[in-house]
Chain A
Amino acid sequence: MSEQQELKIENLHVRVEDQEILKGIDLTVEPGKVHAIMGPNGGGKSTLAYTLMGHPGYEVTEGRILLDGTDITEMAPDERAKAGLFLAFQYPHSIPGVTMANFLRTAVNATRPEPVSPRDFRKTMREQMALLKMKDEFAGRYVNEGFSGGEKKRAEILQMAMLQPKYAVLDETDSGLDIDALRIVADGVNALLGPEMGVLVITHYQRLLNYIKPDYVHVLVGGRIVANGGPELALELERSGYEKFEPPSAA
């Protein structure tokens, strides 16, 4: 078996509630690289993100997903996380009654061979929260409960910082952020970037890509990747939109 260090998506077909949404996606994310996926609403970006993470509602009918050579297509979400995959949700779920601190500590311990000491955990959490300009009291709040849109996105990045995944998928982490928050979140992501981590950034806006510089840009329309390019492709899309990529309408 190949021990290729990469997140490799091969000919991925995905069905949701009897409808084929992804119609053959091929994409490879290497450590140290940033890939951006852009595309119109409903194109299948979140479907790809959920499928990578193993959401039970998304059925892979063809193709496979390899993480550093291991086929993770049938793995449970927690096993994928342990293998080093992370998804920052477009719409993070709230968990009433469970504090951020407890949640984070459980997650950190679940993804490591050895549990961290409560002291080390608290120290790291505080540091990371400070970097994301999150107030200490956040640690005591219930997961995403009553968080503003921007707070939820910061909390996603906080989780990423604590879990230190090898491959991270960020699904519209920029939406709902004001200019300052966008910079803080982008700084947070950039601080984690390095030769060890590969990132797949899903976004509608060139703006985010000014902060998180992509190596590659892909355009996802109608469940297919219809164009690949470098950062210049994002600029082009900003000018001309997706019209030329849209499949001819049924009408």
Chain B
Amino acid sequence: MTRQAVERLSRQYDEPAWLADARLRAWQIFEMSPMPSRQDEEWRRTNPGGLRLDELVPFAEPSGQIESPLRLDGNVGGLITQMNSVTTDRSLQDHIAEDGVIFTDLQTAACEHPDLVQRYFMTEAVNPEIGKFAALNAAYWSGGTFLYVPRGVEVVLPLRSLYGLTEGGIATFGNTLLVLEDGARATYIEEYVSPEVDRQSLNAGVGEAYVGQGAHLTFITLQDWAGKVWDVSTQRALLGRDSRIDWLVINVGTGTTKTNIETGLQGQGAFAQMLGIIWGARNQHSDYHTVQDHIAPHTTSDLLYKSALTDEAKSVFSGRIRVVQGAMGTDAYQANRNVLLSEKAAAFPSPNLEIEANEVRCTHGATVGKIDQDQLFYLMSRGIPRDMATRIVVEGFFEDVLQREPVASIRDNLRDLIGRKLDES
């Protein structure tokens, strides 16, 4: 990875000058910022030393096969498929395009809709300054997803992206930019997937969502990486007045994940529902840092992250609630629940509250517990074998998340996926 490689990338794609410049600025930030270490508070429980960045190449041709982990099918408004950061397929139904909706890969969007993309892309929600990996993404990203929904337009069918990583020894840079103008509505589902790879690979991703006044975004982001894949990503949504995001994060496969999921409630009356489902087996390590950032008064956030872990899997959750001065009338809820199915599985929750405003309602709670042997005995006493009983208890554990509204459209798919993962373990 070099400055020349960044320049080559811009030339190869014949990019507009602003974008080429932005890449070089990002590269500079990347070079100047130190590699995180375990001494950094953020990386206390995830050792960045395990990532061999210098052994990764930033490109690979599409290869192999990928499949939607949720087994989602054709009933969608649009679908973008990328492999190793190269767009291999994209579609958008005509009637949606006719409403002025743009749904295409980010590179194409940067050329065809430069004003729009330039206005939002890695400026406010996530910018290269926030950290080394965001900077690396900003320098090297390709492919990506751009969704733009004009004012008042409702996209009924879900829009999907499938990001595949199929080679060992590579880095991909998934990049998602979602813009909903005032009063717009859309559901966006992205899946990150890889088959088994022979060596370490990395996805350093960025996700940004702008939800305009009164708009409503349902955002489902799913990871099903192989055991040798690292994921270091930041996704941040900014919410306008009276807007709403329902945001579900699913992780059913990874080597090491270190991801930030952040909402900035910038407009009065904004509402964020943040849900997480994490299934960890073998030595999967997932480290989620969530932020519920209450900037405007009378905003509400409701977070529920649940993880079930077996073998030697680890789950780290650090959830931050920030209520700035003046954001009175804020309601902020945070719950992190972990169930351990083996002796060596472990979960490390830590809430972190910074409340500078008055008249705030805020609750938080975290639990870590072993799977209940009495529940298993009860099920087994009815003739249900131990592994099936375990599966039933774990599925039951996730059920309250599955019953939440944003999950309805993929509920059965998600149940099947969790069931398959449990069977594999």
The interface of chain A, by Cβ under 8 A from chain B, is 53-57, 76-78, 80-82, 86-87, 89, 92-98, 102-103, 106-107, 110-111, 142, 159, 163
Asked whether B383 lies within 8 Å of A107 as measured between CB atoms, the reply is: yes
Asked whether A110 lies within 8 Å of B384 as measured between CB atoms, the reply is: yes
Q: DSSP majority for the B interface?
A: helix
Complex interface: chain B residues within 8 A of A103 (CB): 379, 382, 392
- With contacts A95-B393, A106-B388 taken as known, whether A81 is within 8 angstroms of B380 at the C-beta atoms is yes
- With contacts A106-B392, A142-B396 taken as known, whether A78 is within 8 angstroms of B384 at the C-beta atoms is yes
CA distance A159 to B381 in the complex (A): 11
Complex interface: chain B residues within 8 A of A76 (CB): 380, 385-386
Excluding A56-B377, A77-B377, A107-B383, 9 further A-B contacts by CB distance (< 8 Å) are A76-B385, A78-B383, A81-B381, A89-B381, A95-B378, A98-B396, A107-B382, A110-B384, A110-B385
Asked whether B399 lies within 8 Å of A110 as measured between CB atoms, the reply is: no
Asked whether B392 lies within 8 Å of A78 as measured between CB atoms, the reply is: no
A-B pairs with lowest CB-CB distance, top 5: A97-B399, A97-B396, A81-B383, A111-B383, A107-B382
Q: CB within 8 Å of A: which of B365-380?
A: 372-375, 377-380
Q: CB within 8 Å of A: which of B323-361?
A: none
Q: Give chain B nearest CB distance to A173 CB in angstroms.
A: 15
Asked whether B380 lies within 8 Å of A78 as measured between CB atoms, the reply is: yes
Instruction: Name which residue of chain A comes closest to B389, CB basis.
Output: A78
Asked whether B382 lies within 8 Å of A110 as measured between CB atoms, the reply is: yes
Asked whether A78 lies within 8 Å of B386 as measured between CB atoms, the reply is: yes
Instruction: Name which residue of chain A comes closest to B392, CB basis.
Output: A98
Q: Would you list 12 pairs from A and B whose C-beta atoms are within 8 A, ordered by A residue?
A: A54-B381, A56-B377, A57-B373, A81-B382, A93-B377, A95-B392, A95-B393, A95-B396, A97-B397, A110-B383, A110-B388, A159-B382
Q: Give chain B nearest CB distance to A110 CB in angstroms.
A: 4
CA distance A106 to B377 in the complex (A): 15
Asked whether A78 lies within 8 Å of B373 as measured between CB atoms, the reply is: no
Q: Give chain A nearest CB distance to B164 CB in angstroms.
A: 32
Interface string of B186-225 (1 = CB under 8 A from A): 0000000000000000000000000000000000000000
Asked whether B396 lies within 8 Å of A96 as measured between CB atoms, the reply is: yes
Complex interface: chain A residues within 8 A of B389 (CB): 78
Instruction: Say which residue of B375, B384, B392 sits within 8 Å of A93 (CB atoms).
Output: B375
Cβ of B103 within 8 Å of any chain A Cβ, yes or no, is no
Instruction: Name which residue of chain B comes closest to A53, CB basis.
Output: B381
Cβ of B154 within 8 Å of any chain A Cβ, yes or no, is no
The interface of chain B, by Cβ under 8 A from chain A, is 372-375, 377-386, 388-389, 392-393, 395-400
Complex interface: chain B residues within 8 A of A111 (CB): 382-383
Complex interface: chain A residues within 8 A of B392 (CB): 95, 98, 102-103, 106
Complex interface: chain B residues within 8 A of A56 (CB): 373, 377
CA distance A241 to B395 in the complex (A): 47
Asked whether A96 lies within 8 Å of B397 as measured between CB atoms, the reply is: yes
Asked whether A78 lies within 8 Å of B385 as measured between CB atoms, the reply is: yes
Total A-B residue contacts, Cβ distance less than 8 Å? 84
Q: Give chain B nearest CB distance to A54 CB in angstroms.
A: 8
CA distance A57 to B377 in the complex (A): 10
Asked whether B378 lies within 8 Å of A93 as measured between CB atoms, the reply is: yes
Asked whether A82 lies within 8 Å of B399 as measured between CB atoms, the reply is: no
Asked whether B378 lies within 8 Å of A106 as measured between CB atoms, the reply is: no
Instruction: Say which residue of A87, A95, A98, A142 sits within 8 Å of B381 (CB atoms).
Output: A87
CA distance A106 to B384 in the complex (A): 7
Asked whether A96 lies within 8 Å of B382 as measured between CB atoms, the reply is: no
- With contacts A89-B378, A92-B378, A93-B378 taken as known, whether A82 is within 8 angstroms of B395 at the C-beta atoms is no
Instruction: Name which residue of chain A comes closest to B400, CB basis.
Output: A97
Q: Give chain A nearest CB distance to B422 CB in angstroms.
A: 14
Centre residue among B379, B382, B389, B400 by max chain A CB count within 10 A: B382
Asked whether A98 lies within 8 Å of B378 as measured between CB atoms, the reply is: no
Instruction: Say which residue of A78, A94, A96 sits within 8 Å of B399 (CB atoms).
Output: A96
Complex interface: chain B residues within 8 A of A78 (CB): 380-386, 389
CA distance A163 to B397 in the complex (A): 25
Complex interface: chain A residues within 8 A of B379 (CB): 95, 103, 107
CA distance A111 to B384 in the complex (A): 8
CA distance A54 to B385 in the complex (A): 13
Complex interface: chain A residues within 8 A of B397 (CB): 96-97
Q: Give chain A nearest CB distance to B367 CB in angstroms.
A: 13
CA distance A159 to B383 in the complex (A): 11
Complex interface: chain A residues within 8 A of B383 (CB): 78, 81-82, 107, 110-111, 163
CA distance A95 to B397 in the complex (A): 9
Instruction: Say which residue of A82, A93, A110 sits within 8 Å of B374 (CB atoms).
Output: A93
Centre residue among A56, A82, A95 by max chain B CB count within 10 A: A95
CA distance A56 to B375 in the complex (A): 12
Complex interface: chain A residues within 8 A of B388 (CB): 106, 110
Centre residue among A54, A81, A102 by max chain B CB count within 10 A: A81
CA distance A96 to B392 in the complex (A): 10
Q: Give chain A nearest CB distance to B389 CB in angstroms.
A: 8
CA distance A53 to B383 in the complex (A): 11
CA distance A142 to B382 in the complex (A): 16
Complex interface: chain A residues within 8 A of B384 (CB): 78, 106-107, 110
Centre residue among B380, B381, B389, B392 by max chain A CB count within 10 A: B381
Instruction: Name which residue of chain B comes closest to A94, CB basis.
Output: B375
Q: Give chain B nearest CB distance to A196 CB in angstroms.
A: 18
CA distance A92 to B386 in the complex (A): 18
Q: Give chain A nearest CB distance to B365 CB in angstroms.
A: 16
Asked whether A97 lies within 8 Å of B395 as measured between CB atoms, the reply is: yes
Complex interface: chain B residues within 8 A of A93 (CB): 372, 374-375, 377-378
Q: Give chain A nearest CB distance to B246 CB in angstroms.
A: 20
Instruction: Name which residue of chain A comes closest to B394, CB basis.
Output: A97
Complex interface: chain B residues within 8 A of A77 (CB): 377, 380-381
CA distance A142 to B385 in the complex (A): 20
CA distance A76 to B388 in the complex (A): 14
Complex interface: chain A residues within 8 A of B396 (CB): 95-98, 142
